[in-house]
Amino acid sequence: MTNYQFPKDFYWGSASSGPQSEGRYENDGKGDNIWDLWYKEQPELYFNTIGPEKTSQAYTHIKEDVALLKATGHNSFRTSIQWSRLIPEGRGAINPAAVKFYNELIDELLANDIEPFINLYHFDMPVVLQKEGGWENRKTIDAYVAYATACFELFGDRVKKWFTHNEPIVPVEGGYLYGFHYPHEVSFKAAVQVGYHEMLASAKAIAAYRALGKIGEIGIILNLTPSYARDENNPSDVKAAQFADGFFNRSFLDPSVLGEYPADLIDDLRSADVLPSYLVEDLEIIKNNTVDLLGINYYQPRRIQARENPHEWSVPMPEDFFETYDMPNKKINPYRGWEIYEKGIYDTLTNIRENYGNIPCYISENGMGVEDESRFIDKQGQINDDYRIEFVSEHLKYVHQAITEGSNVRGYHMWTFIDNWSWLNAYKNRYGFVSLDLENDGKRTIKKSGHWYKKVSENNGFEE
């Protein structure tokens, strides 16, 4: 029997987001964001045509949901403020109904000894700003910093953990390379410009937070997907993996933590003629406004080999520099098609310890989506999701190993608390500690994993 004991004051919790959980209601004052717009334009793209108005109804279930957080062992919880809810036009007037909602949520969390971790941007660009170019437009940075400052002023007396972006590489990939987010364009150069503007916006928001003199920490949440070369002894494979790591991970990790962009990535982007437009003074802003705290989302590794065949696109793409390697005999989550590789979370934390000053960090997302979980309902109406317990515990073992070796990791948040709406996938895959019954007025029922997690939190660890 091994005892996996975690440090005192370890953060146990889960993560969600405003656009995936709040929903829309008559007279709630929320403006449209890009998901509302895309659903109006092409509802058939969404799984079972379920749009962003049909989320897990967090807007009307504050007390019930916080009670469920408590019942599943949470001492912390991460969600996001919706830009399009707080400032419906993206800039200008603040929506008083939104202020009331977020105040009630924050106060209820604190009343139950649950630390709120609040993220500012989770893929929910207001439509007014998107029509002006979204993150391609440098003016969006100013609107974002004004929005962030409003959040700090409204809620910063109680919220002590802030994050500028969740997974900023995803709008780059989804919106401007691979078509799974709006505006579903394909432009390597636009993608790089979007990523640069997101990074500069993050640094400027950090500067604004510190200028207010609030007592708290501010960071960024990155999905760090380790890139493994097919053959570590093949220089071409290693170089390809280095590019993938640079583009998908270090493009935000290095400037956020170290204050500078990686030189090899700059060289690669220059060779592809896709370097972003920037001002020299931007680089000082980025250098002087690094993060206090790093959130790490980990789901799967990236397997990489040197490019052997022309890629399928007729335009320049990141894939000019690498190819995905389909490693045989890998463990797969068949519902998402993602590799399950628990050691990747340890490798990521070790990298942060060895190469990024061992900055305080926490696992901000890690989870397993499964289709048709109703197959596993027992006679008492509980979903027996032993596969989720196994997934979380196996990852936690590697987090524990990283801690014993000195990694400064301070918490673990699973994705997600209640089964939530997930972009074009809607409710195809379920991730929660708590099941959601859409056909029964959003009824919530704790799954077996939620009861297990409460015990883990109460014991600050587990034995196995």
Which of 365, 373, 390, 394 is catalytic? The answer is 365
Quote the percentage of the chain above a pLDDT of 70: 100
User: Per-residue pLDDT tens for 272-284?
Assistant: 999 999 999 999 9
Q: Is 365 a catalytic residue?
A: yes
CB atoms within 10 A of CB 463: 9
Cα 286 to the chain's mean position, in Å?
21
Q: What is the pLDDT of residue 211?
A: 98
Nearest-angstrom CA–CA distance, 161 and 224: 20
User: CATH number of the domain that 375 lies in?
Assistant: 3.20.20.80
Q: What is the pLDDT of residue 312?
A: 83
- Domain total for the chain? 1
Q: What is the pLDDT of residue 389?
A: 98
Q: What is the pLDDT of residue 311?
A: 85
Of the chain, the end-to-end C-alpha distance in Å amounts to 5
Exposed/middle/buried for residue 279 (C-beta within 10 Å: 0-12, 13-18, 19+): exposed
Residues of the chain with pLDDT under 50: none
- Write out the residue range of the structural domain in which residue 88 sits: 3-463
Q: What is the pLDDT of residue 454?
A: 98
The residue with tokens 């993206």 is: 90
